[in-house]
A = this chain, B = another copy of it.
Amino acid sequence: MQFSSRFTIATHILLCIAMFENEQKVTSNFLAGSINTNPVIIRNILGLLSSAGIIEIKAGIGGAFLSKPPEKITLLDIFKAVEKEESLFHFHESPNPQCPIGRTIHSVMDGKIETIQSAMENEMNNITLSRLLEDAKKNM
């Protein structure tokens, strides 16, 4: 199991917008060229980022723009925009209540699962688009 590439593609998209939005029109075609995929894939992800309030898209004329400063966009924002599942783990639905373990497995595990997911999300929340942009500029 892996997260879909939507997360890394969305991050790539936002880095491109942050880098180029003042210099040229950042269209789905332009982004598809940088990411090396199909413009429709890009447009779908642009739609998710737009729904999440992270970017704005100019209909007709084209082009995408950040709707917040890059310091206020975190990897967690991006992740939540493109991965809709609320819980990281798929729990088997109907353990047997007649078994002592089946009866208690949820109360034992639910909190732990939440802790694990929070650890991941906190880490994501610490990384901003502006930091990624700085790193990209250093490596250019």
Contacts and interface: CB of A to CB of B under 8 A. Distances in A.
Interface of A: 1-5, 7-9, 11-12, 15-16, 19, 33-37, 75, 83, 85, 87-96, 99-105, 107-109, 112, 115-117, 119-120, 122-124, 127, 132, 135-136, 139-140
Contact of A112 (B75, B85, B87): B75
Q: Please state the number of chain copies in the assembly.
A: 2
Contacts of A112: 75, 127, 132
Given A3-B89, A12-B92, A104-B135, 14 more contacts: A1-B3, A1-B4, A2-B87, A3-B88, A4-B90, A5-B90, A8-B92, A8-B109, A15-B105, A16-B99, A16-B101, A36-B92, A37-B92, A116-B124
